[in-house]
Structure 1
């Protein structure tokens, strides 16, 4: 049984093509279970495949990242994408969602970081709306990505409140305000925090205000490596450093924090760790 949990990672990404099995085995040795998060059709299918290969250790989410809502000049070599526009192909994703290894829909949401025009914003909003409807349809929680777009994101969620499950899902790598956290808590969301909390203090206050019962740990690997591994490619085994920092900020033991995160993962993802 896992002792730690990485609720948002990408071990299926191209960044691990040379040593993926070793990365998973290091996580296993550290007692880490994980959710590999889809960002495109290809990475969603790969996440499901990895969950089958490492049953009980790896789980999957499926969906289209907002940065793929339109054609982009930026292509991430660590991912597995062309920079082309992607759609939420409902029939294909329905088949994937029927797999018990799929525990959430996403990562979906809004990302206005590199967006220069209103047309792209509107495409992202439309795609996010499709994910909300689809998640309701297949009875899976949402895995939300939001960057520089919290007012727009919460407006969409409030307008579609009746379609949200309970729990509604996760807002990953939360960077919003205390007021935004409160609004999302009231909508039924949980929050993940990652490696950035080990080297900046920007999120200390909001972490202290969110109940432990609504917090999970993540790495978002291969990105945002925590201290003391800065300068290296991130990986799921490093989530233990995030849990240590969360425990410090919540003024509890590492064991208590890790156990609460597992309980939270069971609740939001519907995973029964005791049966694995």
Structure 2
């Protein structure tokens, strides 16, 4: 089982849960909201070989955490994964776009000095601008767009510049999400949960719940469920084999 976008550090009793996740999942990417959170989470999850931690500065907390930008940039060289970074133009966070964009641009620029990083990227409400910035910094790394919800034209541009996509049960529950996924390249899609911020039946998704995307993906792409699982594993192996 695979989860390419989890906030495992933000679950209640995350360390105990992480032990189970490490047993059940072959790969889980834990994205963080700030460099400080990255350091703490990396220490707590050290030794759990199937859990990797991404260095991030989440756009939703950009105002509060902008003072950690230097720490973010200083850490990129050694961090194996980057995330969560990006921009959020939804009504609640639109007012901080003037702070978000310079942080995102600086992160992309620094990633460009250490190419090959897998970057888990937030783009809600700012899809067009995020894709534009990625198009001008193709050397920065491998952009993995988390829960992409932009327009079809923006998706086509993202595909054209080589973006990957992480999709979860919540995205697949909606008609728009399913329509977008149907247009994503099969060999550039990976599962995610975004837990604990997404739930089913009032219960937060657990990292192993990402694997439940196989059934709806099989329906969308007209493939057997077993073949979808194999394709997702192949995609992960190919992503991790990329330079850097």
TM-score where L is the length of structure 2: 0.87
CA distance in 2, matches of 1:85, 1:95: 15
Counterpart of 2:86 (choices 109, 118, 140) is: 109
What is the number of equivalent residue pairs in this alignment?
A: 240
Residue 78 (structure 2) pairs with residue 98 (structure 1):
yes
CA distance in 2, matches of 1:206, 1:70: 31
Residue 145 (structure 2) pairs with residue 156 (structure 1):
no
Residue 56 (structure 2) pairs with residue 66 (structure 1):
no
Q: In the alignment, which residue of structure 2 is the partner of 1:39?
A: 33
**How far does the alpha carbon of each residue in 1:238-259 deviate from its partner, in whole angstroms, 9 at most, with x for none?**
1121232222222222222122
Structure 2 vs 1, CA of residues 177 and 269 (structure 1 numbering), >3 Å: closer, same or farther? farther
Q: In the alignment, which residue of structure 2 is the partner of 1:24?
A: 18
Identify, as 1 or 2, the structure richer in helix. 2
Shift of 1:88: 2.2
Shift of 1:32: 4.4
**Which residues in structure 2 correspond to 1:170-249 (within 5 Å)?**
170-225=144-199, 229-249=200-220
Residue 144 (structure 2) pairs with residue 144 (structure 1):
no
Kept in 1: contact 2:76–2:82 (CA 8 A): no
Counterpart of 1:10 (choices 7, 10, 16) is: 7
CA distance in 2, matches of 1:19, 1:70: 26
Counterpart of 2:110 (choices 110, 134, 140) is: 134
CA distance in 1, matches of 2:154, 2:98: 21
Residue 231 (structure 2) pairs with residue 260 (structure 1):
yes
Kept in 1: contact 2:73–2:106 (CA 8 A): no
CA distance in 2, matches of 1:147, 1:50: 29
Shift of 1:34: 0.4
Stretches (4+) displaced over 6 A = none
**How far does the alpha carbon of each residue in 1:144-175 deviate from its partner, in whole angstroms, 9 at most, with x for none?**
101101122122223334x333xx22000111
Shift of 1:58: 0.4
Kept in 2: contact 1:32–1:237 (CA 8 A): no
Structure 2 vs 1, CA of residues 164 and 110 (structure 1 numbering), >3 Å: closer, same or farther? same
Say which SS state the counterpart of residue 176 (structure 2) adopts.
coil
TM-score where L is the length of structure 1: 0.78
CA distance in 1, matches of 2:221, 2:19: 30
Shift of 1:109: 0.9
Shift of 1:270: 3.4
**How far does the alpha carbon of each residue in 1:175-231 deviate from its partner, in whole angstroms, 9 at most, with x for none?**
122221121112111001112134322211211111210111000111112xxx421
Kept in 2: contact 1:7–1:218 (CA 8 A): yes
Shift of 1:264: 1.6
CA RMSD across the alignment: 2.3
